[in-house]
A and B are shown apart, each in its own frame.
Chain A
Amino acid sequence: MSAISVRDLRKSYGAYEALRGISFEIQEGEVFGLLGPNGAGKTTTIEILEGYRTRDGGDIDVLGFDPERAGSAFRERIGVVLQHSQLWPNLTVAETHRMFAGYYEHPRNVDEVIALVGLDEKRTARVKTLSGGQKRRLDLGVALVGDPDLVFLDEPTTGFDPAARRAAWDMIRSLRSLGKTILLTTHYLDEAEQLADRLAVLRGGVIIREGTPSELTSGSSETEIRYRKDGQEVVIRTSEPTRLLQHLTAEAVAEGRELEGLSVRRPTLEDVYLSLTAEHQE
Chain B
Amino acid sequence: MKLLRHQVKWEQRLFWRSRESAVFVFLFPILLFALLTAVYNGHIYGRPASWALLAGMIGYGTANTAFAGLAITLVSRREIGILKRIRATPLPPAVYLTAVLVSIMIVFAIQVASLFALGRVLKSTPWPSHLLSLVPALALGVAAFAALGLAITAFIRSLEGSSAVLNVIVLPMAFLTGSFGPTRHYPKVLRAIGDVLPLKYLLDLINGIYLQGQQLWDKPTAVAVLGGWGLFGMAVALRTFRWEPREG
Q: A100 on the interface (CB 8 Å rule)?
A: yes
Cα separation A250 to B91 with both chains bound (whole Å): 71
Identify the closest chain B residue to A91 (Cβ). B14
Q: Which residues of B contact A52 (CB under 8 A)?
A: 84, 87-88, 244
Q: How many chain B residues touch the partner (CB < 8 A)?
A: 21
Q: B82 on the interface (CB 8 Å rule)?
A: yes
Known: A50-B88, A85-B85, A87-B85. A99 touches B10 (CB 8 A): yes
Q: Which residues of A contact B85 (CB under 8 A)?
A: 80, 82, 85, 87, 142
- A18 to chain B minimum Cβ distance, whole angstroms, is 11
Q: B172 on the interface (CB 8 Å rule)?
A: no
Are B90 and A103 in contact, with the CB atoms below 8 A?
Answer: yes
Sort chain A's interface into a size bin.
Answer: 20 to 34
Main secondary structure of the interface of A (DSSP, over half): loop
C-beta contact mask, A250-279 vs B, less than 8 Å → 1, else 0?
000000000000000000000000000000
Q: B41 on the interface (CB 8 Å rule)?
A: no
Known: A99-B10, A102-B3, A103-B3. A85 touches B80 (CB 8 A): yes
Known: A90-B14, A103-B3. A85 touches B82 (CB 8 A): yes
Question: Which residues 47-79 of A sit at the B interface, judged by CB distance below 8 A?
Answer: 50-53, 71-73, 75-76, 78
Which of A78, A84, A102, A105 has the most chain B CB within a 10 Å cutoff? A102
Are A88 and B92 in contact, with the CB atoms below 8 A?
Answer: no
Identify the closest chain B residue to A95 (Cβ). B13
Q: A86 on the interface (CB 8 Å rule)?
A: yes
Q: A204 on the interface (CB 8 Å rule)?
A: no
Identify the closest chain B residue to A71 (Cβ). B92
Known: A50-B88, A103-B91, A104-B90. A86 touches B244 (CB 8 A): no
Cα separation A99 to B18 with both chains bound (whole Å): 17
Question: Which residues 85-120 of B sit at the A interface, judged by CB distance below 8 A?
Answer: 85, 87-92
Which of A73, A78, A85 has the most chain B CB within a 10 Å cutoff? A85
Cα separation A142 to B91 with both chains bound (whole Å): 14
Q: B246 on the interface (CB 8 Å rule)?
A: no
Q: A33 on the interface (CB 8 Å rule)?
A: no
Cα separation A88 to B92 with both chains bound (whole Å): 19
- A66 to chain B minimum Cβ distance, whole angstroms, is 16
Residue from B17, B81, B84, B90 within 8 A of A90 (CB atoms)? B17
Q: Which residues of A contact B244 (CB under 8 A)?
A: 52
Q: A146 on the interface (CB 8 Å rule)?
A: yes
Are A87 and B18 in contact, with the CB atoms below 8 A?
Answer: no
Q: Which residues of B contact A102 (CB under 8 A)?
A: 3, 6-7, 10
Known: A91-B14, A102-B6, A103-B3. A84 touches B81 (CB 8 A): yes
Are B88 and A88 in contact, with the CB atoms below 8 A?
Answer: no
Question: Which residues 59-91 of B sit at the A interface, judged by CB distance below 8 A?
Answer: 80-82, 84-85, 87-91
Cα separation A122 to B244 with both chains bound (whole Å): 29
Are A72 and B84 in contact, with the CB atoms below 8 A?
Answer: no
Are A75 and B14 in contact, with the CB atoms below 8 A?
Answer: no
Cα separation A95 to B6 with both chains bound (whole Å): 12
Q: Which residues of A contact B10 (CB under 8 A)?
A: 99, 102
- A35 to chain B minimum Cβ distance, whole angstroms, is 21
Residue from B3, B7, B18, B90 within 8 A of A75 (CB atoms)? B90
- B124 to chain A minimum Cβ distance, whole angstroms, is 38
Residue from A53, A86, A100 within 8 A of B89 (CB atoms)? A100
Binding site for B on A (CB under 8 A): 50-53, 71-73, 75-76, 78, 80, 82, 84-88, 90-91, 95, 99-100, 102-105, 142, 146
5 example contacts (A-B, Cβ-Cβ < 8 A) are as follows A51-B88, A52-B84, A82-B88, A90-B17, A146-B89
Beyond A72-B90, A87-B85, 18 extra complex contacts between A and B, CB < 8 Å:
A51-B88, A52-B84, A52-B87, A72-B91, A75-B89, A80-B85, A80-B88, A85-B80, A85-B82, A86-B80, A88-B82, A90-B17, A99-B6, A102-B3, A102-B10, A103-B3, A104-B90, A105-B90
Interchain residue pairs A-B with the least CB separation, the first 7: A85-B81, A72-B90, A80-B88, A102-B6, A86-B80, A103-B89, A75-B90
